[in-house]
Structure 1
Amino acid sequence: MLASAALWLMAAPIHAEGLLTGGVAPVVGDEVDPEATESTKPAPPPPATIQPASKLVRVHGVWSQFSELPLAGDAPNTLTYGGKLDGYIDIGGSAFGADNSITVHVRPEFRYGEDSNGLIGLIPSNTELFYPGDGEVFDLSLSVTKRWKSGVSLTVGKVNVLDLAEHLPVIGGGGHEGFQNLAMALPPSAVVPAKITGVLLDVPTKKVLYRFWVFDPAVQSRRSGLEDPFDRGVAFLGSVTFPVNLDGKHGYYAVKLAGSTRSAIADDALPAVLVPGPGSTFGQRKGEMSVVLAAYQNVAEYPEAPGKGWGLFGQVYISRGDPTFLDRSALFGISGNPRARPQDRFGIAWFRYSLTNKLVDALSARLALEDEEGVEAFYTLQVAKPLRVTASLQVVDSAIAARTTGVLGSLRVSTRF
């Protein structure tokens, strides 16, 4: 029985929606233009103003198609195809009798097809196709944002954290653009799920951006968030981001704290084979806490192509362990635009993630586990303004000790409308 579980984990995709993030971003629901936001400073939330009737409802979307093929390792050399369609509907307050400092965000998404998640590593290799279940999946998020003239914003509701990751400088994120592996597209923290229901407060000042979230620690995918709110406790994220200017180049340095009152392992975020059985000593301690130090620094900014350039990024994560299933991680990389083709984008990054030692010990009779380490490189070619094609190569030494190093090649075609 235990051997069968191990073989399933080694051969089948792992869909575990909550391996999540400590990522941050200033605006919920705003459209991201990959030509304008890859290397530049994110704009602060706009002040509350009266919008013309034609802009009371803004609708846009992005559709990405993926074809993936394991090139080396234990995974079968089978070509997969899948896709993700995301919609963004922002409704100004005056459309329903309020003022336009209030915006309602409606966020439908549809995933279809197959993927290679779980075939070469525990950390999903395709962020956009990482979802509970196989085949066709639909989800909907709904939130309301109030913005003040000072730039302070307050969002309440269900939020897709992947959307926020797209605003990160240098590294970008979210999976439609940039890196595809979750390790970089939405760096896992094991505390913050991919979709959260709660309250998000952003307070930008001239020198610092403060952020504080309070949310339900349970995974909110395919849920309204109102079924059994905060049944597993209360989670929070607080961060301070410092914009700097080094030799005329923009940089951003952040300290992030995340934790919860949860007193059990996040079993809704893991495949069953990684959840200790009854009687295990892991997952009995109440409360969890983690800290992230992150840096995003532009090295080159092209005066002939405003908003373009390239830079370095890095992140170090530490948690106190039990009941959090990750205790250490680090990533470092380079990303940006080639000067000869600033409309294109490239990136290469290394990552290493460590499962909590007590969890590894608790599962040792079932499955031998170790740290997971890997590298991803990508290049995005802009074929036309709405059409971008990305080639990605990932090399991963899996956390499953019995696996050999895996190599995954993929092609992504994305269009915005």
Structure 2
Amino acid sequence: MARSFSKFVLTLSCALISCAVGSQSAKAKEAKKEATAVSLLSQKTLTDVPGGPKEHLRRLGIDTDVWVTQFFQGIAAGGNQGVSRYGGKLDVFLKVDAEKLGLWRGLRVNAQYEHYIGLNINQRDYALLPVNAAQAFVAQNNYHTALSLIVTQQLSEQLSVSVGKFNTMTLASQTPLIGGGGLDTFMNRAFALPSTGIGVASPGTVADRLIVSPPYILGGVATLKTDVATFNLIFADPRNAANPRVLERPFERGIGVVGGVTVPTEIAGLSGYHTLRGGYSNARGFDLDDIGESRTRLAPLVGVTKKGFWLASYAVQQYLVQNAEKPNVGWGLFTLATLSDGNPNPVRWSMLAGLGGNNLLPGREIDQWGVGFFHYGLTTPLLAGLAERRIYRRSEGGIEAFYNWAITPWMRLTGDLQIVEPWNANRPRGTYMALRLQTRF
């Protein structure tokens, strides 16, 4: 009987141990599932899993990102009311740190490939400035894809030099508070691609040369960072580098040079930046005095050109609220004012200002929002010349507001509203509404 009792105790103990092990295994699996779910909701991109390929590549000095941005935008009021379009844009980013790869100290290579998808309402709304900047330059009836490539050499801790083909909207996206590029902050070109001071010299269309800011430039940038300010010197072909001829015959129409200085400030412990730029090009642009009927009669077949143009700008970004632990997280004021020669530049002056940044409510710090207004003062020779031809145009202005809700860090849904007084004087004020969904792989 004692032997039977011992056997019973041993069997019961084994069963209890088995149950305990099974319970612990189940708990471990459940905990693993919860950890995976938490990681999926918090990781930077959809494929950036802990210990995954992207993490291993970063250790070697190679960083990759793929963004798919979808747009559904429509005209709620104004000209072509009721028109709506669905489209999108694919962006592929590649960053290579040659030093980490053991190839060359201080050398970095950045590449960006863009591909257009679907449709958009640009040029259907009678506005001069594209209301969807992200789809304005790689477009259905324009260049369908684009490739930008930048090579940067860090000469010292303070000095770096970059050369290549630049996407200026991607550069603008690095601007504090206002952002840019049309992919995750403002959509209107007024905010997404502010003035650079380098202009398109070919006659082309007024919209293509607007406020001397081609979306792609071929050239170089030297950057010097000091304790008191950051200095930039840019040289570039003044034409839109999306045109293959610019790559085949660079600088055949002239060169543009821009100098800038950014001075950081601090008010009541809050960061701010003041940026002053000046640019000049020796290229030829279409002489806007030639638009009128009298000049056209004198030279009916040949458009008169004018050599040389300049632009100056002043920008301010000032945080009004900042996260104490993460200084780059906050919201504040931004503004930009520009002044040009007014001929051949079609915009004599421009102004934009607004508020924007992050939502600082707990758990919503990566959400972004913004509201701003813009006004582009078109030059008198352009407006007067068009009026002589019975084409009535005016300066263009408007407002835009957006909220970018980060469903996860890699999936973001934006609601956007724009109200624009278009440059076509015969068309009413337009109201545009959009939803934008971005997924980062």
Please tell me the TM-score bracket, short chain as reference.
0.7 to 0.9
Partner of 2:365 in structure 1? 342
What is the rounded CA distance, in whole Å, between the counterparts of 1:289 and 1:325 in structure 2?
A: 12
- Is 2:225 the partner of 1:218? no
Q: How does 1:207-356 map to 2 (within 5 A)?
A: 207-223=228-244, 225-265=246-286, 279=299, 284-303=305-324, 307-340=328-361, 341-356=364-379
What is the rounded CA distance, in whole Å, between the counterparts of 1:94 and 1:304 in structure 2?
A: 30
What is the rounded CA distance, in whole Å, between the counterparts of 1:224 and 1:83 in structure 2?
A: 27
Partner of 2:109 in structure 1? 104
* Deviating more after overlay: 183-192 vs 212-221: 183-192
- Displacement over 4 Å in runs of 4+: 94-97, 280-283
What is the rounded CA distance, in whole Å, between the counterparts of 2:374 and 2:222 in structure 1?
A: 30
Residue 182 (structure 1) shift? 0.7
- Is 2:411 the partner of 1:387? yes
Partner of 2:427 in structure 1? 403
- Is 2:392 the partner of 1:368? yes
Distance 1:282 1:354, change over 3 A: farther
User: What is the one-letter code of the residue matched to 2:365?
Assistant: P
Partner of 2:5 in structure 1? none
Contact 2:331 2:357 in 1 (8 A): yes
* Deviating more after overlay: 129-138 vs 277-286: 277-286
* Deviating more after overlay: 84-93 vs 209-218: 84-93
* Deviating more after overlay: 56-65 vs 350-359: 56-65
Q: Match of 2:283, SS? A: coil
Unaligned runs of 5+ in 1: 1-34, 37-50
Q: Percent identity?
A: 31
What is the rounded CA distance, in whole Å, between the counterparts of 1:308 and 1:239 in structure 2?
A: 25
Residue 285 (structure 1) shift? 2.6
Contact 1:239 1:254 in 2 (8 A): yes
What is the rounded CA distance, in whole Å, between the counterparts of 1:132 and 1:282 in structure 2?
A: 28
What is the rounded CA distance, in whole Å, between the counterparts of 2:245 and 2:166 in structure 1?
A: 11
Residue 96 (structure 1) shift? 8.2
Residue 55 (structure 1) shift? 2.5
Which has a greater percent of helix? 2
Alignment partner for residue 185 of structure 1, among 161, 180, 192?
Answer: 192
Contact 1:104 1:142 in 2 (8 A): yes
What is the rounded CA distance, in whole Å, between the counterparts of 1:264 and 1:57 in structure 2?
A: 42
Partner of 1:22 in structure 2? none
What is the rounded CA distance, in whole Å, between the counterparts of 1:207 and 1:300 in structure 2?
A: 23
Higher gyration radius (CA): 2
Residue 89 (structure 1) shift? 1.2
Distance 1:244 1:415, change over 3 A: same
What is the rounded CA distance, in whole Å, between the counterparts of 1:309 and 1:172 in structure 2?
A: 13
Residues 203-225 of structure 1 deviation map (CA, whole Å, 9 limit, x = unaligned)? 11111000010000011115374
Distance 1:264 1:175, change over 3 A: same
Partner of 2:180 in structure 1? 173
User: Larger relative CO (CA 8 A, sep 6+): 1 or 2?
Assistant: 1
Partner of 1:23 in structure 2? none
Residue 57 (structure 1) shift? 2.1
Contact 1:263 1:287 in 2 (8 A): yes
Partner of 1:125 in structure 2? 131
Partner of 1:141 in structure 2? 148
Q: TM-score, normalised by structure 2?
A: 0.76
Q: TM-score, normalised by structure 1?
A: 0.81
Contact 2:126 2:424 in 1 (8 A): no
Contact 1:140 1:222 in 2 (8 A): no
Residue 416 (structure 1) shift? 1.9
What is the rounded CA distance, in whole Å, between the counterparts of 1:70 and 1:53 in structure 2?
A: 43
Q: How does 1:54-93 map to 2 (within 5 A)?
A: 54-93=59-98
* Deviating more after overlay: 174-183 vs 390-399: 174-183
What is the rounded CA distance, in whole Å, between the counterparts of 2:144 and 2:438 in structure 1?
A: 19
What is the rounded CA distance, in whole Å, between the counterparts of 1:308 and 1:225 in structure 2?
A: 39
Distance 1:254 1:67, change over 3 A: same
User: What is the one-letter code of the residue matched to 1:113?
Assistant: G
Residue 64 (structure 1) shift? 0.8
What is the rounded CA distance, in whole Å, between the counterparts of 1:319 and 1:378 in structure 2?
A: 29
What is the rounded CA distance, in whole Å, between the counterparts of 1:216 and 1:277 in structure 2?
A: 29
* Deviating more after overlay: 202-211 vs 57-66: 57-66
Q: Match of 2:286, SS? A: coil
Distance 1:266 1:309, change over 3 A: farther
RMSD over aligned Cα, in angstroms? 2.7
What is the rounded CA distance, in whole Å, between the counterparts of 1:203 and 1:299 in structure 2?
A: 27
